[in-house]
Structure 1
Amino acid sequence: MSATANTPESLQDRYAPNNMCFGCGPANEKGLRLKSRVEGDELVADFVPEEHHQAFAGMLNGGITGALLDCHSNWAAAHHLMQVRGEEAPPCTVTADFHVKLKRPTPLGPMRLRARVVETEGDRVIVEATLEAGGKITATCKGTFVAVKEGHPAYHRW
């Protein structure tokens, strides 16, 4: 398993245990299985990549970086909407856009993702996120995530 053990229950495990998403689905045995948890006003996740996640010797693939930031940011948006609406479960949200900046190569080894909501308008949430490895921010992300309605393929995916 790629996530760090002995952490509080993740949002994915609590609200979407059957989710098959490559980045964050607990039920996807071949996926990244990202585990996001609330820490203060941020969503955080610790991740340890495996050898097959590298782009070149000892460095994380940029697509994997994007998948981690996308999924983690999406969960930050879903959790935020659940909180502001006073609901018991997060709405299903999807990515409308996300922009990743790869600031430097990300070394394989323990890394931490952080995400926070910076703007909300109705069903749309803008999130900023970072990926930290080796004591440095190696990538940033800003994205828009939208709660979907009945009829959308992602509706009730949790």
Structure 2
Amino acid sequence: MKKILNPYLNKEGYNCVCCAPNNPVGLHLEFWEEGEDVLTIWNPGENYQGWINTLHGGIISMLMDEVAGWVINRKLQTTGVTMQLNVKYKKPVMTTDSQITVRGHIASQRRNIVTIHLTLENSKGEVCDEGEAIYFTFGPDKAKEMGFDSCKVEGEAMG
């Protein structure tokens, strides 16, 4: 598993609620690459519950949407926007769990439309939620305009 370097760290105005490390109310997510998957590991905590000790469904959707974006960044070396996100809530995710893992990979691609399969697993490795994101990806010029240059992993040559 290789840590993905955040390509947005030195971008002016960068304050993503999911992945900006200095956002005071953010999730401070980091990402890893494992084969075809991109994943994040996160400790939910009680501040993110919808019902007592249960992770809010909107937070689950947000986590999946964010992982989908990082799949696009890393695997296709571009950026884009979410066109559609479908989540199947299969089992409650407990905020008392020590960690959850959200992972995604490209399921299909047709030109600039990419479908990403997503899962959320609890600390026991049980799949609690499944999702599918459909992404519209940008060409190189638009990606650069949006502040994206490249997305590397630790130890990968810059350039």
TM class by smaller structure: 0.7 to 0.9
* Structure 2 letter corresponding to 1:139: D
User: Residues 1-158 of structure 1 correspond to what in structure 2 (within 5 A)?
Assistant: 9-11=3-5, 13=6, 15-17=7-9, 18=11, 19-82=14-77, 91-108=78-95, 109=97, 110-135=99-124, 136-148=126-138, 155-158=145-148
Query: SS where residue 37 of structure 1 aligns?
Result: strand
Q: What 5-or-longer segments of structure 2 have no aligned partner?
A: 149-159
Identical positions, percent: 23
Q: Judging changes above 3 Å, is the alpha-carbon distance between structure 1 residues 151 and 93 closer, same or farther for their aligned structure 2 residues?
A: closer
Structure 1 residue 106, shift from structure 2 partner: 0.4
Q: Distance in 2 between matches of 1:77 and 1:92?
A: 6
Distance in structure 2 (CA, Å) of the matches to 1:26 and 1:123: 30
The two structures have a TM-score, normalised by structure 1, of 0.78
Deviates more, 1:17-26 or 1:39-48: 17-26
Q: 1:9 to 1:59 in 2, by over 3 A?
A: same
- What's the CA shift for 1:121? 1.8
The one-letter code matched in structure 1 to 2:72 is A
Q: Aligned-pair RMSD on alpha carbons?
A: 2.3
C-alpha distance in structure 2 between counterparts of 1:16 and 1:96, whole Å: 22
Aligned residues: 141
Q: 1:100-132 CA distances to partner (integer Å, 9 max, x unpaired)?
A: 111111012211111110111222211001001
